[in-house]
Amino acid sequence: MLVLSLAACAFEPPPPKTTPVPEQKETLVDCPMRFRFDAKGTAYQHVYVAGEFNAWKEDKLELTDPDGDFVYEGSFTIAALAPGRYAYKFVLKQAGADPVWTLDPQNTRQKVLGTEVNSLVELKDCRVPVLSLDATALGADGTATVTLNIAPGLAENSFDPATLAAKTSTGDHLPVALDGSGKKATVTITNRKDTKVGVWVTAGGAHGDADPLYVPVWTRADGFSWDKSTLYFAFTDRFSSASTKNDAPASCLPQGSLANWLGGDFAGITKKIEDGYFDALSVDAVWISSPNLNPAGCYSGSLGRKYTAYHAYFPMALEETDPHFGSKAELRALVDAAHKKGIRVLVDFVANHLHEESPLVAVHKEWFHPFYKCGWEQPITCWFEPYLPDINYDDDEADAAMVGSALYWIQNFDLDGFRVDAAKHIGHPFVHNLRAEIAAKVEHRPLIDAAPKAVPFYMVGETFTGGWSPTDSSQVDMIKEWVSLAELDGQFDFPLWYQILYTFGKQSSPTGALKTMLQAKIDYGTGAVMSGFIDNHDVPRFISHADNLVNSYTPLSDTSSDEAKTIGWDQTLRPGQPAREEPYRLAQIAWAFLLTQPVVPLIYYGDEIGLPGAGDPDNRRMMAFTGLGAGQTALLERYKKLGALRKTHPALRSKELEMSGLLAAQAAANDDTLVFFKIDPSEEILVVIDRRRDMVTDTLQLWVPDRIAAGAQFRDLETNESFVTTAGRVDVPMQRPNARYLLRVK
Per domain, the residue ranges of the chain are 32-123, 130-218, 651-745
E strand or H helix that includes residue 478: helix 474-480
Mean pLDDT throughout 464-488? 96
Q: What is the spatial distance between Cα 24 and Cα 125, in angstroms, rounded to a whole number?
A: 13
**In this predicted structure, which of 25-34, 100-109, 669-678, 723-732 has the lowest mean pLDDT?**
25-34
Peptide bond into 389 cis (omega under 30): no
pLDDT at position 80 is: 84
Angle of CA points 743, 497, 314, to nearest 5°: 130
* Contact present, 578 and 543 (Cβ < 8 Å): yes
Q: What is the spatial distance between Cα 339 and Cα 337, in angstroms, rounded to a whole number?
A: 6
Q: What is the spatial distance between Cα 413 and Cα 410, in angstroms, rounded to a whole number?
A: 6
pLDDT at position 376 is: 80
pLDDT at position 140 is: 92
Residues in Cβ contact with 68 at an 8 Å cutoff, skipping those fewer than 6 apart: none
Distance of CA 42 to the CA centre of its chain: 37
User: 130-218 domain in CATH 2.60.40.10?
Assistant: yes
The answer to whether residue 338 scores a pLDDT higher than 60 is: yes
**Backbone φ and ψ of 94, nearest 5°:** -125, 150
pLDDT at position 27 is: 54
pLDDT at position 8 is: 34
**How many of the other CB atoms lie within 10 Å of CB of 341?**
18
Q: What is the spatial distance between Cα 252 and Cα 61, in angstroms, rounded to a whole number?
A: 62
Q: What is the spatial distance between Cα 346 and Cα 306, in angstroms, rounded to a whole number?
A: 29
Closest CA to 491 of 479, 501, 481, 499: 479
Q: What is the spatial distance between Cα 561 and Cα 553, in angstroms, rounded to a whole number?
A: 18
pLDDT tens-digit map of 403-413: 999 999 999 99
**Structure pTM?**
0.95
Q: What is the spatial distance between Cα 240 and Cα 631, in angstroms, rounded to a whole number?
A: 22
From the number of C-beta atoms within 10 Å of its C-beta (0-12, 13-18, 19+), residue 281 rates as buried
The answer to whether residue 96 scores a pLDDT higher than 60 is: yes
**In this predicted structure, which of 26-40, 305-319, 411-425 has the lowest mean pLDDT?**
26-40
pLDDT at position 616 is: 95
E strands, 306-430, are 306-307, 344-349, 417-420
Confidence of residue 312 (pLDDT cuts 50, 70, 90): very high
pLDDT at position 531 is: 98
Closest CA to 587 of 565, 568, 611, 564: 611
pLDDT at position 52 is: 97
% of the chain beyond a pLDDT of 70: 96
The answer to whether residue 10 scores a pLDDT higher than 70 is: no
* Contact present, 351 and 402 (Cβ < 8 Å): yes
- Helices in 505-618 by DSSP H: which ranges? 511-520, 542-551, 562-569, 582-594
- Rounded to a whole number, what is the distance in angstroms from the first to the last CA of the chain? 38
Residue 24 identity (one-letter amino acid): Q
Q: How far is CA 517 from CA 490, 496, 662, in A?
A: 19, 8, 19
Q: How far is CA 309 from CA 266, 420, 464, in A?
A: 16, 18, 21
| Pairing mode, strands 417-420 and 458-461 | parallel
Closest CA to 386 of 361, 408, 417: 361
- Helices in 265-375 by DSSP H: which ranges? 266-274, 277-280, 328-340, 359-363
Q: What is the spatial distance between Cα 205 and Cα 128, in angstroms, rounded to a whole number?
A: 7
CA 693, 698, 703, 708 torsion-angle sign: positive
Closest CA to 197 of 217, 220, 170: 217
- Fold match, 130-218 / 651-745: yes
Angle of CA points 192, 195, 196, to nearest 5°: 100
Q: What is the spatial distance between Cα 138 and Cα 254, in angstroms, rounded to a whole number?
A: 53
Q: What is the spatial distance between Cα 531 and Cα 333, in angstroms, rounded to a whole number?
A: 27
Q: What is the spatial distance between Cα 504 and Cα 513, in angstroms, rounded to a whole number?
A: 12
Mean pLDDT throughout 327-338? 98
Q: What is the spatial distance between Cα 709 and Cα 725, in angstroms, rounded to a whole number?
A: 7
Confidence of residue 14 (pLDDT cuts 50, 70, 90): very low
Q: What is the DSSP letter of 451?
A: P
E strands, 108-192, are 110-113, 116-123, 130-138, 144-151, 160-168, 173-174, 176-178, 184-189
pLDDT at position 26 is: 45
Q: What is the spatial distance between Cα 610 and Cα 577, in angstroms, rounded to a whole number?
A: 8
% of the chain beyond a pLDDT of 90: 93
pLDDT at position 710 is: 95
The answer to whether residue 3 scores a pLDDT higher than 80 is: no
pLDDT at position 11 is: 32
- Rounded to a whole number of angstroms, the CA Rg of the chain reads 28
Mean pLDDT throughout 459-480? 95
The answer to whether residue 167 scores a pLDDT higher than 70 is: yes
Mean pLDDT throughout 312-320? 98
Confidence of residue 536 (pLDDT cuts 50, 70, 90): very high
**Backbone φ and ψ of 518, nearest 5°:** -65, -40
The answer to whether residue 7 scores a pLDDT higher than 50 is: no
**How many of the other CB atoms lie within 10 Å of CB of 180?**
6
Fold entry, domain 32-123: Immunoglobulin-like (2.60.40)
The answer to whether residue 252 scores a pLDDT higher than 70 is: yes
pLDDT tens-digit map of 186-206: 999 999 999 999 999 999 999
**How many of the other CB atoms lie within 10 Å of CB of 475?**
17
**Residue 229: CA atoms inside 13 Å, Cβ hemisphere, count?**
25
pLDDT at position 306 is: 97
Q: Which numeric CATH code is attached to 651-745?
A: 2.60.40.1180
pLDDT at position 608 is: 98
The answer to whether residue 173 scores a pLDDT higher than 50 is: yes
Confidence of residue 15 (pLDDT cuts 50, 70, 90): very low
Mean pLDDT of the residues in the chain: 94
Confidence of residue 124 (pLDDT cuts 50, 70, 90): very high
Q: What is the spatial distance between Cα 311 and Cα 465, in angstroms, rounded to a whole number?
A: 21
| Pairing mode, strands 683-690 and 697-703 | unpaired
